[in-house]
Amino acid sequence: MEAAIQSKKEIPRSAEKMDSELSKLGNNLVTKFHVLMRISQIYDSKNVALQQFIQESLHAINTFVQREGSIRLKIVGDDIFLNEQRLRYSVEGFTSFKYLLTQWKKRLIGEVLYKGALDEDALREFIYILMALEDGKEENATLFNETLKERHLSSIEVGPLEVSEKEEGAYTLEKENSREVGKKVFFETIGTVKEVITQIKGKQHADVRKLKRLVRKAVHLIMEDESILLGMTTIKNYDEYTFNHSVNVAIYSMAMGRRLGFSRGVLSELGITAMLHDIGKSKIPLEVLNKPAALTDEEWGQMKKHPLTGVEIVLNLKQLGEVNPKMVVGIFDHHLKNDLSGYPKLFHKKRVSLFGRIIQVADAYDAMTTPRIYKKVPLTPEQALAVMLQDRDVYFDSILLKMFIGLVGVHPLGSLVLLDTHEMGIVFKPNTDPQWIERPHVVLVDRDRRGRGKKELIDLTERNGGGRFKRSIVKTLDPNKYHVDIAKYFL
Ligand SMILES: [Fe+2]
Ligand SMILES: [Fe+2]
């Protein structure tokens, strides 16, 4: 099989040297493939509706070919490599990554090589031959290459999917690397929350079964090691605020629930409740939700209805199973505040439910630390915790708040910090001893002489011979300024 691609034995898995421009081009390519593959399922290859998408994709492909000489997209495990560098998932790109992986894997195609610039016909033919392949047929890559040859498309070659031993046989959560699972669960949950909210907005039937499944996986991960998902909450996505916010609030809430000793079942209920806490906002017009200026009284009135609207929506979600009062009340309560000075206004005084109190803390923290349209520079985690502590008895359950501070730490996971030794560190794990919340475990990020990042895990409570701390945090740094890729340490 001469046409098969000579694959290199070693593919460097590190994304260390991946420059961000290349990464952007790569993400763009994957998105374009995703769109083309989907469209080819709707229209036949001659349809004019394809034209625009083909042109856009050609532009992306040929720009890349011009720059790098060729394009090699290869699947290794659950990763996509572009010219031997691993492409990292992004929140926006995750669906496209997944689609490409599933579609290629299904057809046992693991690699595509473009040896030069393509023209419209070549790209069109390529997509339609690919999508017409039978699922699971061993000879697909050979057949594909033969067809390409027959049609004189010599600048394209494909290779078969290489199935590693790990992938063969049943593949359970335990066998996969937890961090990888965490990443997938996180991005998939954001995508699913988005789907549910879009369905509710469009008055369609909302399917929450997938969300329930994902929450169960998240609970499993939180029980195993809470720092994995907590680390993901540091990815603040400005454009996808509502979805990202819902998932973050759920992660914080579940981590608190775990510390309160909740069972898996109750943790799942709490997770779903937190995930849907702002679902009532899907009925508020976007102009009001994203209004950069102060809201009018009428707009505030609309805003204040969202807990109640949320309850109505949740009561109508069929697949939620038996609707648990804890979940409904949790959504109703999440803006009541500890002294009941929040909203909705109550006719009879009651104590804010435990779910409500937990979500209130998680919600306030995430909202304050995330950039918004009307507040582009968010509070730093330290500032947010300080504000919350100031109003602790009015707004929050002070015991839960204390617990939350222990959870995220004064220096939350993923913060880039300057140490008094002039080293830089990334906060990796909070200190489990509450008296040392200011002294988390950090990973040092300064470079050795060869320019490689050191990955030494340091406990900041370590002292030297004289009893003084070896290292202390001086201040938090902006990771963008120092070109430190924080996600690399968590993803
Ligand atoms: Fe809310
Ligand atoms: Fe919220």
CATH number at residue 358: 1.10.3210.10
Whose atoms come closest to the Cα of 249: which ligand? Answer: 2
What does pLDDT average to over the chain?
Answer: 83
Residue 74: pLDDT over 50? yes
Whether residue 3 is contained in a domain is answered as no
Q: How many domains does the chain have?
A: 3
Q: Which residue has the higher pLDDT, 142 or 94?
A: 142
- CA 371 to ligand 2 centroid distance, Å: 14
Averaged pLDDT for residues 49-67:
88
SS3 string, 36-105, reads HHHHHCCCCCCCCCHHHHHHHHHHHHHHHHHHHCCEEEEEECCEEEECCEECCCCCCCHHHHHHHHHHHH
Segment of 24-33, 79-88, 262-271, 419-428 carrying the highest mean pLDDT: 262-271
Q: Are residues 396 and 291 in the same domain?
A: yes
Q: Are residues 158 and 185 in the same domain?
A: no
Whether residue 327 is contained in a domain is answered as yes
Residue carrying the six token digits 């209004």: 291
- CA 103 to ligand 2 centroid distance, Å: 36
Residue 444: pLDDT over 80? yes
Residue 407: pLDDT over 60? yes
- Per-residue confidence (pLDDT) for residue 232, from 0 to 100: 82
Q: Are residues 73 and 140 in the same domain?
A: yes
Q: Are residues 265 and 381 in the same domain?
A: yes
Whose atoms come closest to the Cα of 246: which ligand? Answer: 2
Q: Are residues 148 and 270 in the same domain?
A: no
Whose atoms come closest to the Cα of 242: which ligand? Answer: 2
The protein residues having their C-beta less than 5 angstroms from ligand 2 (an ion) are: 278, 363
Q: Which residue has the higher pLDDT, 21 or 476?
A: 476
Whose atoms come closest to the Cα of 344: which ligand? Answer: 1
- CA 433 to ligand 2 centroid distance, Å: 29
Residue 1: pLDDT over 60? no
Whether residue 76 is contained in a domain is answered as yes
Q: What percent of the chain has pLDDT over 70?
A: 85
- CA 335 to ligand 1 centroid distance, Å: 6
Q: Domain of 456?
A: 416-490
Whether residue 263 is contained in a domain is answered as yes
Q: Are residues 184 and 64 in the same domain?
A: no
- Per-residue confidence (pLDDT) for residue 297, from 0 to 100: 94
Averaged pLDDT for residues 406-435:
82
Q: Across the strands, what pairs with 157?
A: 113
Whether residue 12 is contained in a domain is answered as no
256-297 pLDDT, tens digit each: 999 999 999 999 999 999 999 999 999 999 888 888 888 899
Averaged pLDDT for residues 306-325:
83
- CA 68 to ligand 2 centroid distance, Å: 45
Q: Which residue has the higher pLDDT, 18 or 408?
A: 408
Q: Are residues 314 and 338 in the same domain?
A: yes
Closest CA to 129 of 146, 113, 105, 114: 146
Q: Are residues 296 and 243 in the same domain?
A: yes
Averaged pLDDT for residues 309-319:
86
**10 Å Cβ neighbour count for 189?**
26
Per-residue tokens: 380: 């730093």
Q: How far apart are CA 314 and CA 322, in angstroms?
A: 11
- CA 436 to ligand 1 centroid distance, Å: 32
- Per-residue confidence (pLDDT) for residue 85, from 0 to 100: 79
Decide if 362 contacts 389 (C-beta within 8 A). Answer: no
Q: How far apart are CA 271 and CA 253, in angstroms?
A: 7
Q: Are residues 388 and 443 in the same domain?
A: no
Residue 446: pLDDT over 90? no
Residue 214: pLDDT over 90? yes
Q: Are residues 212 and 190 in the same domain?
A: yes
Phi, psi (degrees; rounded to nearest 5) at 276: -105, 10
Out of 101-115, 267-281, 316-330, 448-462, least confident range: 448-462
Whether residue 219 is contained in a domain is answered as yes
Q: How far apart are CA 172 and CA 211, in angstroms?
A: 19
Q: How far apart are CA 221 and CA 182, in angstroms?
A: 7
- CA 223 to ligand 1 centroid distance, Å: 26
Q: Which residue has the higher pLDDT, 239 or 350?
A: 350
Q: Are residues 119 and 211 in the same domain?
A: no
Residue 6: pLDDT over 60? no
Give one DSSP letter per residue of 307-338, joined into a string. HHHHHHHHHT-GGG-SPPHHHHHHHHHTTS-T
Q: Are residues 67 and 199 in the same domain?
A: no
